[in-house]
Amino acid sequence: MSSHREMLDYFNHGCFQKLFAAIGKKYKSLGRVGGTVKLSGLSPEDRDILSGFLSRDCRDSAVLMVKLQEVDDILRQSRFNMALPDFLEVYFGCEILPNKEAARLESLKWSQFFHGLMEHARTTVTREWLAELAAGGGAGYRTVKAIYRQNEREAAELLKTCVEAMDRLVQYPGRRQRLPVFAARLTGDPHALDGDRPLGRLLFFALHHMYRLPETEYGAERKKVLFSRAGLEEDDISSNVIVAGLRARPGDPREPVFTASAAAASPLLLPLRFVEQPTGWLPGAVYVMENPAVFSAILDCAAGREQMPAMVCTSGQPSVAALKLLDRLVDAGSTIYYGGDFDPPGLEMGRRLAERYAAAFKPWFFDTAAYLQAPKGIKLTPDQAKKLAILEVPWDGHLIEAMLRVGNVVYQEVLVDRMIEDLFP
């Protein structure tokens, strides 16, 4: 042990760290003592010290070539009397395995990891998913691998719990239950299956396997739909959307609610539970915006008027409730007139809605003409310009080009006067 300490003290210099880091990498790559490493960027002091170690003049070498066999011979003949592979393990404080051997052992460890999980699986569907993951594929493989690399023990516990959840859903198909209640029964934590938690992500992919679906982008709406298919319903109160001026058909039990709201120019906050229940919507133009301040400014001007435009405010990224409402309105024959900020996030929100509603989507003060006529703007940052350059908007093929040429971000607040004039001529 003392000789090892002496050896490490002797090689405690930056030039040796560079040398043995390169040698260790070469040794793992070849799986034997062989080949040559190249060192550059060495200081005069580095070259002087390595000259003494290698017993050759390296002082004028801008690039130093060192054979692994050369270093092995030096170490064997030194007072440390140690072969290069043994030296590397002492120097780095860990076992140095050739890449092929390390990969073989890692593969064996991965298989054993899943063998233990298989013992907890009670259904064929779950065992098949685990087998696909063990084979290096299957829904959620990349997520599982990332969790495994970060903490193997935690990954085992998460997958074991996910397996239990999946088995319960397979064994009792059609049972409807609230997701937080199911999560609490499973783990004691009602938030364990939330979208931002590892277990929630794992079950999301497990359900992809259960229903043989292609792996899709992880998002709140997709998660809700998929979990609902499995009988797990999220709470339908916290997701909501602000509306004003919407109208239901005469005779619909909800019609008085919307009539009173429109008459008073007063907004309604509709939770998902309300939106998902049947309503006989009257078709028409629906003005959608993500900005609550713009929504409020329009409401200010609507008070006392006979006609109140139908409006929806998403308050940023559309919630599940907002998307569900817009789906129902479009299904009823309405047209979505959407306006947002002329910046990358605002255009991206518009793009998603345009793709979702196709011909039922119309830009509202959200095209090249509106941008160029805006009274004020703020200079684009380099990061914003970079994001714009790779963005496409389906409703106006010239908008991005105009924004990059002018070089300004335009926020919806500066257009609110023109919007009000449009709605209340």
- 274-306 confidence digits (pLDDT tens): 998 999 999 999 999 999 999 999 999 987 787
pLDDT bracket for residue 1 (50, 70, 90):
very low
Lowest-confidence segment of 245-254, 262-271, 301-310, 378-387 by average pLDDT: 301-310
Backbone angles phi and psi of 38, in degrees to 5 = -120, 125
- 62-86 confidence digits (pLDDT tens): 888 999 899 899 999 988 888 888 8
pLDDT at residue number 367: 96
CA distance 164 to 229: 18
Q: What is the largest CA-CA distance in the chain?
A: 100
pLDDT at 25 over 80: yes
Q: Give the 3-state DSSP-derived string for 214-266, with helices as H, strands as E and coil as C.
A: CCCCCCHHHHHHHHHHCCEECCCCCCEEEEECCCECCCCCCHHHHHHHHHCCC
Q: Please return the burial class of 382, using the count of CB atoms within 10 Å of its CB with bins 0-12, 13-18 and 19+.
A: exposed
Domain ranges in the chain with CATH number 3.40.1360.10? 240-423
Mean pLDDT of 249-270: 92
The pair of three-digit structure tokens given for residue 92, joined into one six-digit string: 């780095």
pLDDT at residue number 3: 72
pLDDT at residue number 155: 92
CB atoms within 10 A of CB 157: 12
CATH number of 240-423: 3.40.1360.10
pLDDT at residue number 2: 52
Which residue matches tokens 């929806």? 312
pLDDT bracket for residue 218 (50, 70, 90):
low
pLDDT at 168 over 70: yes
- Average model confidence (pLDDT) across the chain: 90
The residue type found at 226 is: L
pLDDT bracket for residue 349 (50, 70, 90):
very high
Residues contacting 107, CB < 8 A, separation 6+: none
CA distance 212 to 275: 29
